[in-house]
Structure 1
């Protein structure tokens, strides 16, 4: 069996920095001189709790998280938060408005891709509150069915006093992302939200967390991210929760709210400093090493600049291929994700030929999600400029040889 590593363009679990993995192997055997491996050590040991606090500090500094927000570590992935945000924010809304009936509580969802659609469906499934689709990108797609755009700002219709306002910043499957330039028509329309007061704004940042700064972070009630994209292995979910959203869910239940399972309660996590039960110790360790590397490497702006450069290189190669009829992009210009660039390779057998050629060149993980097919290039932080250049070189070579 070969020990040679390939370039992993997979969408998640995805590539991690080689030097971090090498450092992590040391910790697997002996964590910080304890003589105990990180996968074996008590999560309540002073060494691990200090490491957890350090990881939290790096996140707060790198993202400029204000003191109004708690940083929490949990499990269950982004899909677990589809339920948690509904239950916690409906509990909050019940405490604020105990007189309202369930059908009078509204949850606003912006649906721009497969993941926000799943989140919206979970809100409907839980059934305590009415779901309002504030915007549905499919209406503005080429065929009325695809998720290929970020809707124009005029197309959003938010409720007056919703329990939550939900959006997914980057859609991993569909390759659609909100712009980080607030002047862009593809930016999230913060200006259309009710002004003044504490907004119940929820954002799924799973596939773009730590790739660039988060616009208007302080205006969010909850930001969550599965770590298995830019930060660490699967098994860890990171939350940034505004303190007014860390509510007594049991008090809300006495007023008629849905009882919240104890491990889904933000108050449980906050009160226990993310250590109510055994957390994902090994994923936290590897994510913490990545955070240390990011801080030592110049901070988030350095990574944002690099990610922009990688994106621009791949987009340039994609456009060259489109001019020759070899490639076909799936997302409207202006809405294309930095993290997950999706496109088709039209023609009988050509998609598989492209993927096979990439594999021969030690580039894997390029097949699109099973629900949409095609190619998906995931450019997470651990994919460096050299890795990107190798892919671009292959894309250009492939486009030149296809007739």
Structure 2
């Protein structure tokens, strides 16, 4: 059966060549005669491969030596909890006599995932959650996530334990601009001055799709792999070394106990093999990263993804002129990864999806919480595949 075009938001498309190489590796990993899903995670062959994966990320993203690269499980949702616990432990060690009600966690809420992250922080307790900016307040209906707030809409705390933002919102299709002159860029200039910033970036759905602005200023960057570089089951962390704290020492001072597999220092001290890591997803991610390096790394994909998104948004604009499509996100805040729009008219959305599927284009239906259409343009989605969906959209507009 021929492969379809997969526009799914995650788990998402992977390059055919990588899947073919991974299939061979299931039978024989690096000439060991043992399949990758069977080999010991402590074998010299796998640990060497894991070191290569780390190197491929470090060189392509220009990660400084001040930061460690770690591999774990649990996805971005698992990090909603882990990052709070680790950063509160750090803050406790820095300020042992501060009462819990005087500790603050700053959250920038721009979509469904950052809202869930803030909700988890409230559930865990140990500090007050302060919403430094809420995109809904600046939307057309004061309820929707259709924008990135302009810089004058932010108010950060003076000494928060963490400052969280989600770089790309997979559900709502909004994304911070990488252009520092854009009103939709992250307001780095407004962050508290003095000391090392407790800045946390959730890059789950845009990781390795373009360079990360001011990466060295982040305390933690994390990403689930199942968007741009691998299958579900792997989470990648970039952690500044001052955040690799002794969580047990913090617990003795009153911080919440951190589960051992969630403690960043544990992961670092064990080179990410404290327990069995996600061996197969790490292998596939490594194959993707090798291919990325050959093609030109994140700079290559940044330009490619811009071209793909421009073509798609142009098609949506043509549909808006005809009263057929309607973009969900304000211009300037639109995602390069997850393009969302509505198809207007009775039963036309269902017809649009059915027509796309008849042409071998799958997973175009929007997230169940917001509806509409969502076309994800992750790295493995080719420009030719985007041309195909754009041609279908133009055909749909005319008919």
Q: TM-score, normalised by structure 2?
A: 1.00
Query: What is the deviation of 1:225?
Result: 0.1
Residue among 154, 158, 163 paired with 1:165 = 163
Which residue number in structure 2 is paired with residue 86 of structure 1? 84
Which residue number in structure 2 is paired with residue 66 of structure 1? 64
Query: What is the deviation of 1:194?
Result: 1.5
Which residue number in structure 2 is paired with residue 365 of structure 1? 363
Which residue number in structure 1 is paired with residue 34 of structure 2? 36
Between the aligned partners of 2:365 and 2:17, the Cα distance in structure 1 is 26
Worse-superposed segment, 190-199 or 310-319: 190-199
Query: What is the deviation of 1:296?
Result: 1.0
Structure 2 gap ranges (5+): none
Between the aligned partners of 1:89 and 1:337, the Cα distance in structure 2 is 29
Query: What is the deviation of 1:197?
Result: 1.8
Query: What is the deviation of 1:287?
Result: 0.2
Matched residue SS, 1:191: helix
Which residue number in structure 2 is paired with residue 378 of structure 1? 376
Structure 1 gap ranges (5+): none
Residue among 209, 212, 215 paired with 1:211 = 209
Matched residue SS, 1:70: strand
Query: What is the deviation of 1:130?
Result: 0.2
Matched residue SS, 1:134: strand
CA RMSD, Structure 1 to Structure 2 (Å): 0.5
Matched residue SS, 1:203: strand
Between the aligned partners of 1:298 and 1:105, the Cα distance in structure 2 is 43
Which residue number in structure 2 is paired with residue 183 of structure 1? 181
Which residue number in structure 1 is paired with residue 15 of structure 2? 17
Query: What is the deviation of 1:22?
Result: 0.4
Matched residue SS, 1:12: coil
Residue among 117, 126, 129 paired with 2:127 = 129
Paired residues in the alignment total: 399
Matched residue SS, 1:214: coil
Matched residue SS, 2:163: strand
Query: What is the deviation of 1:378?
Result: 0.2
Which residue number in structure 2 is paired with residue 77 of structure 1? 75
Between the aligned partners of 1:168 and 1:300, the Cα distance in structure 2 is 19
Which residue number in structure 2 is paired with residue 229 of structure 1? 227
Query: What is the deviation of 1:332?
Result: 0.4
Which residue number in structure 1 is paired with residue 104 of structure 2? 106
Residue among 254, 268, 271 paired with 1:270 = 268
Deviation above 3 Å: which 4+ runs of structure 1? none
Between the aligned partners of 1:95 and 1:384, the Cα distance in structure 2 is 48
